[in-house]
Copies of this chain bind each other. A is one copy, B any other.
Amino acid sequence: MAKVTNISGFPEYLPEERIVEEHILRTIGDIFRLHGFASMETPSVELVSTLTQKGVAEKEIYTLRRLRDEGDTEAELGLHFDLTVPFARYVAQHLSRLSFPFRRSCYQKVWRGERPQKGRYREFGQFDIDIVARDTLPISADAEVVTVIAKAFSQLAIVRAELRINNRKILLGMYDSLGIGESRRGEVVRIVDKLDKIGPDGVRKELSEGEGLGSEQIDRILAWSTLKAPAAGAREMLEGLAIENETFQRGVQELVEVLELVPPAARDIITVSLSLARGLDYYTGTIFEVVLPDYPHFGSVSAGGRYDDLTAQFLPGQRLPAVGGSIGVSRLMGLILERELMPMHRQCPSRLLLTIHSEDSRVRVNEWAERFRAKCVPTEVYFKPAKLGKQIEYANAKGIRFAGFMNEESGEIEIKDLKEQHQGPLGDLDEWIATNRASLFD
């Protein structure tokens, strides 16, 4: 007998949970589509040589091997660990057949060969958008990505979301103004990024012992790292720092422009946060992440930013600036399931179960089912002529709202609303649908 067991890190959902996941995917997908982002997929695998470029070798990459390997010499294949490296390869490969700016959306699984550990995913779904242009991509693209991501969380309406934003140039300029040169800035940012984890004393220790910064420099850095402001107060806060540094000023200008282009509804959930760093080796301008104020220890559920040259590793010399964002769908699902944040009363799409009294009437009941389906009502017919109570029990167990009964003589249908517990003749089909629209298509 084969084992049946969950494999740690590979989430699997029950039907009622999957309905929630599909709702999330549809909500996000609809917003991305309404903004004109073209759906895209790449294979699950890339050449390992593609995946290990650019110092990501430390990532745990899963490689594929045939169970009965015959020692052939084919190039090694690995499962992608994010959606950005494959996107860069895709753009480089199909450059001449794409129209720019290329705006893509992509929902796919990604894999990370982590050790089995509670809460650590080894397969998870991400929903990304990116805009990539040739030569130049104005800052308005950053604003659009931020807007669309903010809109997704606002329409999902599952938890309160806060979109934290910063600009890499602001950070670089700040450190520059303290005399911290390019060679050390990356490491300094990585240390400051750990503020939430190791606290100010830990950061102080590492900056002092590891990087040899003086106490005045460290005081400044720590003071800056706590600075936050709502979108409307960003300019004032940043100008108040009075940092006379060109890179810093450019970063402030970009950030302010992004905030001005974001519509009010999205702006309301934005906080400018100078502690936000998000892997400096990658982003070059705007950076952002989405956190959930009601679950402060949960970490970010979305992140993104501007990167100066998407395809640098594939097409050196060509310039393709890009900006993108990613929503961690599996992470969000994990929170929803753990905290029971969404109702899960339906196990299937059916809104109507047509009961069946005898096999002789199945063809006629099927014809009724087709009439409902033609009006977009997901409908099923019970699988065998069982006692009525058993058929209703099935509908209740699956969260099917309505049950229908065909009178075998007249061929007419009675409908019972299993929630409101009232029953009556169907009457005119279109009218019935209009009356019950909210329960049929919610």
Contact = CB atoms under 8 A, between A and B. Distances in A.
A37 B116 contact: no
A363 B348 CA distance: 42
A67 B72 contact: no
Given A49-B2, A89-B4, A367-B263, A36 B78 contact: no
Interface string A2-28: 111111001111110011001000000
B348 A36 contact: yes
A15 B104 contact: yes
Interface in A134-151: 136-138, 140-141, 144
Given A33-B378, A123-B45, A373-B34, A93 B4 contact: yes
Contacts of A74: 116
Given A4-B92, A67-B61, A140-B359, A349 B49 contact: no
A75 B13 CA distance: 22
A194 interface: no
Nearest to A313: B2
Interface in A57-112: 57, 60-68, 72, 74-75, 77-79, 89-90, 92-94, 97-99, 101-104, 109, 111
Contacts of A133: 383
A48 interface: yes
A417 to B, nearest CB: 18
Contacts of A144: 381
A35 interface: yes
Given A61-B67, A62-B67, A133-B383, 5 more contacts: A34-B376, A57-B67, A64-B111, A67-B78, A138-B383
A57 B68 CA distance: 9
B113 A64 contact: yes
Contact of A12 (B41, B50, B131, B384): B41
B67 A64 contact: no
Contacts of A65: 62-65
B77 A67 contact: no
A22 to B, nearest CB: 6
A397 interface: yes
B64 A64 contact: yes
A35 B373 contact: yes
A398 interface: yes
A218 to B, nearest CB: 35
Nearest to A50: B2
Contact of A7 (B35, B77, B109, B376): B77
A366 B63 contact: no
B383 A44 contact: no
A414 interface: no
A60 B18 CA distance: 30
A375 to B, nearest CB: 10
A60 B50 CA distance: 24
A394 interface: yes
B140 A383 contact: yes
6 contacts: A12-B41, A14-B97, A34-B378, A36-B348, A62-B64, A138-B383
A316 interface: yes
B66 A64 contact: no
Contacts of A373: 34-35
Residue among A15, A50, A53 having the largest count of chain B Cβ atoms under 10 Å? A15
Given A64-B64, A140-B362, A22 B7 contact: no
